């Protein structure tokens, strides 16, 4: 993976040169990469994910991409749902998530391959979007809870442990950010605001957040098996 940067006017892009160059139907590096209308006019939008950001699934030939705009929630959304305070390019949420995802991907951890992060600078604020490779056949753990076997749940715990051992504090570890593909491989997505940290109490806080999420989706009993997988000495 080779991360490169480019600028077109007020738009800054941090991209994986290999992913973009290999895509058969992608536009040239530029703002159109992050423009939903571009993809819609090209007939390349093949689906949409649930959630605040309305992520789009894009057909680029040999693979599919996920285009996810950054959207605010909570009280901040009353001011703006799309704009964030500009404090420097490398401190933007998109660039930070792109670099973190690339770092974890390079270590062989199960995260989607990052494609590009785009930031549009508007004076004191910015808007942003992120593109990653779509994981084929993946479903959220929340959708698998009803028929999830103990082995799969333990694999979820072992996967979380792998990320913790790598130092990842996932600030929104929940049953929708853990995906399971057709081969029952577990993936972790949505690294917005996440960071690398030394071992600490944040690990248990991550697990407690996941526990609350499972209960929300009617799968509170699954946490026991997830914790067994997490505690296993040969996790991962």
Tokens 């305070």 sit on residue: 85
User: Would you say 157 and 235 are in contact if contact means Cβ atoms under 8 Å apart?
Assistant: yes
End-to-end Cα spacing for the chain: 23
Q: Which residues 6+ apart lie within 8 Å of 86 measured at CB?
A: 92, 121, 122, 123, 124, 125, 126
The active-site residue, picked from 18, 22, 35, 172, is: 172
Distance of CA 120 to the CA centre of its chain: 20
Active site residue 172: yes
Residue among 111, 98, 88, 80 at smallest CA distance from 34: 98
Kindly state the DSSP code that residue 83 receives in the 8-state scheme. -
Distances (CA, A) of 103 to 52, 113, 135, 191: 26, 10, 18, 12
Report how far residue 224's alpha carbon sits from residue 228's, in angstroms, rounded to the nearest whole number.
6
User: Would you say 210 and 223 are in contact if contact means Cβ atoms under 8 Å apart?
Assistant: yes
Report how far residue 228's alpha carbon sits from residue 57's, in angstroms, rounded to the nearest whole number.
35
Q: Which residues are identified as catalytic?
A: 172
């Amino acid at each position: 993976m080779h991360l490169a940067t480019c600028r077109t006017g007020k738009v800054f892009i941090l991209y994986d040169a290999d992913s973009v160059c290999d895509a058969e139907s992608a536009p040239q590096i530029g703002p159109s990469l992050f423009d939903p209308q571009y993809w819609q006019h090209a007939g390349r939008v093949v689906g949409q994910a649930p959630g605040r950001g309305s992520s789009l699934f894009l057909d680029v030939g040999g693979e599919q991409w996920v285009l996810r705009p950054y959207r605010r929630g909570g009280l901040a959304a009353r001011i703006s749902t799309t704009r964030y305070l500009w404090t420097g390019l490398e401190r933007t949420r998109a660039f930070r998530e792109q670099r973190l995802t690339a770092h974890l991907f390079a270590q062989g951890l199960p995260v989607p391959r990052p494609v590009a992060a785009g930031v549009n600078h508007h004076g004191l604020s910015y808007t942003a979007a992120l593109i990653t490779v779509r994981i084929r056949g993946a479903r959220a753990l929340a959708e698998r809870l009803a028929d999830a076997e103990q082995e799969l749940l333990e694999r979820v715990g072992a996967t979380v442990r792998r990320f913790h051992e790598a130092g990842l504090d996932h600030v929104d570890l929940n049953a929708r950010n853990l995906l399971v593909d057709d081969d029952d491989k577990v993936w972790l997505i949505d690294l917005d605001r996440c960071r690398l940290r030394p071992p600490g109490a944040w690990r248990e806080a991550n697990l407690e957040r996941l526990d609350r999420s499972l209960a929300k989706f009617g799968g509170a009993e699954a946490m026991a098996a997830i914790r067994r997988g997490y505690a296993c000495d040969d996790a991962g």
